[in-house]
Amino acid sequence: MMLQQNGANERFERGLRALSEIDGHAGEKVVNQLANIAPDFARYVIEFPFGDIYSRPGLDLRSREIATIAALAALGNATPQLKVHIEACLNVGVSREEIVEVLIQMAVYAGFPAAVNGLFAAKEVFAARGDAGRERAA
């Protein structure tokens, strides 16, 4: 990881561990890209969402990622982040079918355009992972 933390603190280290477990290289890539333009913001991304929120004991990582993709799909304007978190869902044990169901559910609360866009984002992530040819069971 390019981002250096002078006098690394527990929050930052906890955030790096969570980021690595959840997002793997995709998360590191985002943080490194941010570090080139706004290193303080890149540090905030590690410390706050991952060091503080994702590390809380109240929900497991599966549940947190399901909530995250639902929220990002509902926003309708965060496709790059949605793709990263769809990948993260797969990394923490959420199945392809569960992801599809979460995105279909968004049609009820966020509208059909949000659901369609979320499903297309998922299709791209699945294709990149070599899952594109799998069809849902009837």
Handedness of CA 77, 111, 122, 94 (dihedral sign): positive
Q: Are residues 115 and 132 in the same domain?
A: yes
- Residue 137 falls within a domain, yes or no? yes
Domain-ending residue, one of 14, 40, 58: 58
Q: Are residues 101 and 137 in the same domain?
A: yes
Q: Are residues 67 and 20 in the same domain?
A: no
Whole-number Å distance between alpha carbons of 84 and 79: 9
Whole-number Å distance between alpha carbons of 87 and 125: 7
Domain-ending residue, one of 36, 58, 80: 58
Domain ranges, residue 136: 59-138
Number of domains in the chain: 2
Q: Are residues 43 and 95 in the same domain?
A: no
Handedness of CA 96, 97, 99, 104 (dihedral sign): positive
The whole-model pTM stands at 0.83
pLDDT for res 8: 59
Alpha helix (H) residue ranges in 38-128: 39-45, 61-75, 79-91, 96-110, 112-128
Q: Are residues 37 and 53 in the same domain?
A: yes
CA angle 124, 126, 132 (to 5 degrees): 95
Q: Are residues 45 and 101 in the same domain?
A: no
**Mind listing the pLDDT tens digit for each residue in 74-86?**
999 999 999 999 9
| Percent with pLDDT over 90 in the chain | 66
Q: Are residues 79 and 114 in the same domain?
A: yes
Q: Are residues 115 and 67 in the same domain?
A: yes
pLDDT for res 33: 87
Q: Are residues 66 and 97 in the same domain?
A: yes
Q: Are residues 45 and 109 in the same domain?
A: no
**Mean pLDDT, 10 residues at a time, over the chain (138 residues)?**
59 90 80 88 91 94 97 96 94 96 97 97 95 46
pLDDT for res 133: 45
Q: Are residues 54 and 84 in the same domain?
A: no
pLDDT for res 136: 44
Domain-ending residue, one of 58, 83, 100: 58
pLDDT for res 60: 95
